[in-house]
Structure 1
Amino acid sequence: MTRFRRIGLTLAAVAALTFTPVLPAQAAPTAYQCDAGRDKDGVLVVFRDRDYGGECRAWSDPRYGDLAWTGMNDDISSLKNRTPYTLCFYSEANNQGAVFQIHAWEWWYNIPSWIDNQISSFDYC
């Protein structure tokens, strides 16, 4: 009986290994890249790199008092204001510090050097 038991366990192990589906490994998450679903009319789109490159974030309600929790604090180099509103970008959290104002539908592929990689909050002007 012990011999049949060993054979049965061996066959069960072989069957389990043979018929277990092999799934592809999960890839590491990629950077938050803009696509047509995010980069569209009606939203503010900010980019980590110049020329609308690198990671991006998009807001349909462009008011954000502290970018520290978004991964984009002091890390914005280009932007697209695809809204009908004039927006103000601030060098400090809570809409404080130096102000960079852009008008409705205005795009900046390279924001001015005095505010480049220094934006910490933004709101309607």
Structure 2
Amino acid sequence: MRRKTARFAVSAATVAGLVMTAATSADASVLLGIGQGAGACPGSHVCLWSENDFVGATSGSKFGAIASNQNVGDLGKLQRDGALWTGMQDITSSVVNNTGNAICFYEHNNYGGLQFRIGPWEKWPSVPSWINDRISSFKYC
């Protein structure tokens, strides 16, 4: 009887782990073109804009702004099918962290190079000049 109970407990834990993984994956999102202003950043997301003061580009081939609730290892790979947007690689000038965690922004893809760290709930209308237009990836840190 103990073996059956132990196997059931292990099986139940495995199923619970799979359900938690699926729920986490389903909740992950990257939103493209979120709009202007720090208030456009959804709760539980990190937001980046191409211009100072939480303004996105209004013309051109780049995103104006994005929001994500997951790590992004290559901002250049975010793209829209078709016409206008190709990514946020090396164009970020302002950021909002609407999460309860610190966020680290990196100069290179896959979290390499210079690092700029901001705390939970911070808003930066202008990132420091040494990282302005150089952010290529970010993650929770």
Q: TM-score, normalised by structure 2?
A: 0.62
- Cα pair distance change 1:118/1:35, threshold 3 Å: closer
The answer for the alignment partner of 1:115 in structure 2 is: 131
| Greater C-alpha Rg | 1
Higher strand share goes to which structure? 1
Partners of 1:35 and 1:78 in 2: how far apart? 11
- Residue type at the aligned position of 2:51: D
The answer for the alignment partner of 1:58 in structure 2 is: 67
The answer for the alignment partner of 1:10 in structure 2 is: none
Summarize the alignment of residues 12-51 of structure 1 with structure 2, pairs less than 5 Å apart. 32-34=33-35, 39-51=41-53
Aligned to 1:51, what secondary structure does the other structure show? helix
Question: What are the superposed Cα offsets for residues 4-25 of structure 1, whole Å, 9 maximum, x if unpaired?
Answer: xxxxxxxxxxxxxxxxxxxxxx
Partners of 1:115 and 1:51 in 2: how far apart? 16
Deviation at 1:34, TM superposition (A): 1.8
Cα RMSD for the two superposed structures: 2.0
- Cα pair distance change 1:94/1:75, threshold 3 Å: same
- Cα pair distance change 1:38/1:59, threshold 3 Å: farther
For these two proteins, the number of residue pairs brought into alignment is: 94
Aligned pair partner of 1:103 in 94, 99, 119: 119
The answer for the alignment partner of 1:26 in structure 2 is: none
4+ runs deviating over 2 angstroms:
35-38
Identity %: 36
The answer for the alignment partner of 1:80 in structure 2 is: 96
- Residue type at the aligned position of 1:40: P
Residues 38, 58 of structure 1: 8 Å contact kept: no
Residues 36, 54 of structure 2: 8 Å contact kept: no
Partners of 1:99 and 1:33 in 2: how far apart? 25
Aligned to 1:68, what secondary structure does the other structure show? helix
Higher helix share goes to which structure? 2
Between 37-46 and 100-109, report the one with greater CA deviation. Answer: 37-46
Residues 42, 67 of structure 2: 8 Å contact kept: no
Whether 1:93 aligns to 2:109 is: yes
Residues 34, 67 of structure 2: 8 Å contact kept: no
Aligned to 2:50, what secondary structure does the other structure show? strand
